């Protein structure tokens, strides 16, 4: 089958973009992403050791994949993981209008140099993962919380979809880091038994012959394929699902590194504090210094 037969709509996709696809005969949809410059910009905000860089890169890929499922432009996805008894106490990433940001709070002495990608338990100790969808149109918030279990954050996110969303989901993430340069790629594939997208919840059947086939194909993706800058993402989908009669492909979000650390934003936040508390926070020049954890900047806010 030729690419023209398989790909109904596609453009050449480079770094920092999300590609959406639908396998119509299998009632499955998915997302594929490959991060480059945006990832490096986020990672460069702090002097993260290799294991923490790997963790944050994985989290940003997962956030881009899940955030791109949102249909309303001003809706937001937040991924937050908290732990105790491990070097990482907080990880938070969010997605809003194609903007990605992320931060990891960690104990440098406990993290050490270590391995590049240690097991989840050795990073967080005990902990939980919270995934929150803030929907713009209705103003509603949906949140699912699952234990941080398995060997990776990716496995915990799969558990979230199985337990909170009840949607069969395959997630794969790969990261390649060489010095200051880092590439990360990811694949998300989901099954909708009735061929419906966008349903808030789904009561699934116990057996899905169609899904079992798609899950096997999606699970066969190789680490090097996800981070191969010379392999276009639409070509990657052709490799994976070349046996399918039709795979509809659509370019989605162009991703950027986002941060909302503006003077106006912090004036609004600090304005909620009583005046006596703001007075204690002010420097002699009359401004309050605010350290943005996401971009590692000090913003001086006149309040």
Each residue's pLDDT tens digit, 222-242? 999 999 989 999 999 999 999
pLDDT tens by residue, 2-34: 444 333 333 334 799 999 999 988 889 999 999
Containing structural domain, residue 209: 3-257
Q: Please report the pLDDT score of residue 139 as a whole number.
A: 87
Residue 102 and residue 164 in one domain: yes
Residues 280/60, Cβ–Cβ less than 8 Å: no
- Beta-bridge partners for 95: 77, 100
Q: Please report the pLDDT score of residue 12 as a whole number.
A: 39
Residue 168 to residue 300: CA distance in whole angstroms: 47
Q: Please report the pLDDT score of residue 273 as a whole number.
A: 87
Residue 11 and residue 102 in one domain: yes
Q: What's the structural domain count of the chain?
A: 2
Q: Please report the pLDDT score of residue 200 as a whole number.
A: 39
pTM of the model: 0.85
Q: Please report the pLDDT score of residue 234 as a whole number.
A: 92
Instruction: Examine the fold and report which residue of 221, 240, 257 is the final residue of a domain before the chain moves on.
Output: 257
Kind and range of the H or E run holding 92: strand 88-96
Q: Please report the pLDDT score of residue 208 as a whole number.
A: 67
SS3 39: helix
Residue 159 and residue 294 in one domain: no
Residues 93/100, Cβ–Cβ less than 8 Å: yes
Instruction: Examine the fold and report which residue of 257, 275, 294 is the final residue of a domain before the chain moves on.
Output: 257
Residue 170 to residue 202: CA distance in whole angstroms: 16
Spacing of C-alpha 76 from chain mean position:
12
pLDDT less than 70: residues of the chain: 1-13, 113-117, 193-208
Residue 147 to residue 70: CA distance in whole angstroms: 24
Residue 105 and residue 149 in one domain: yes
């Amino acid at each position: 089958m030729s690419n023209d037969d398989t790909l109904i709509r596609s453009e050449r996709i480079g770094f920092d973009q999300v590609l959406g696809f639908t396998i119509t005969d299998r009632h499955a949809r998915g997302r594929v992403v490959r991060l480059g410059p945006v990832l490096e910009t986020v990672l460069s905000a702090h002097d993260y050791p290799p294991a923490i860089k790997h963790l944050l890169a994985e989290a940003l890929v997962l956030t881009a994949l899940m955030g791109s499922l949102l249909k309303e432009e001003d809706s937001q996805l937040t991924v937050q993981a908290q732990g105790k008894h491990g070097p990482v106490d907080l990880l938070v990433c969010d997605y809003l209008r194609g903007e990605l940001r992320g931060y990891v709070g960690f104990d440098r002495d406990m993290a050490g140099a270590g391995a590049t990608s240690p097991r989840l338990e050795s990073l967080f100790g005990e902990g939980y993962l919270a995934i929150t969808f803030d929907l713009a149109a209705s103003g509603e918030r949906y949140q699912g919380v699952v234990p941080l279990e398995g060997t990776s954050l990716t496995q915990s996110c799969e558990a979230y979809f199985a337990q909170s969303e009840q949607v069969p989901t395959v997630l794969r993430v790969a990261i390649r880091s060489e010095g200051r340069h880092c590439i990360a790629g990811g694949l998300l594939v989901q099954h909708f038994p009735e061929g419906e997208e966008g349903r808030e919840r789904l009561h699934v059947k116990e057996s899905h012959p169609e899904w079992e086939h798609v899950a096997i194909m999606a699970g066969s993706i190789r680490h090097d394929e996800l981070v191969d800058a010379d392999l276009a993402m639409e070509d990657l989908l052709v490799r994976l699902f070349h046996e399918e009669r039709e795979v509809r492909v659509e370019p989605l979000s162009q991703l950027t590194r986002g941060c909302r650390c503006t003077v106006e934003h912090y004036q609004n936040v600090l304005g909620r504090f009583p005046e006596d508390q703001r007075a204690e926070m002010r420097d002699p020049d009359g401004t309050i210094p605010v350290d943005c954890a996401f971009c590692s900047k000090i913003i001086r806010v006149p309040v």
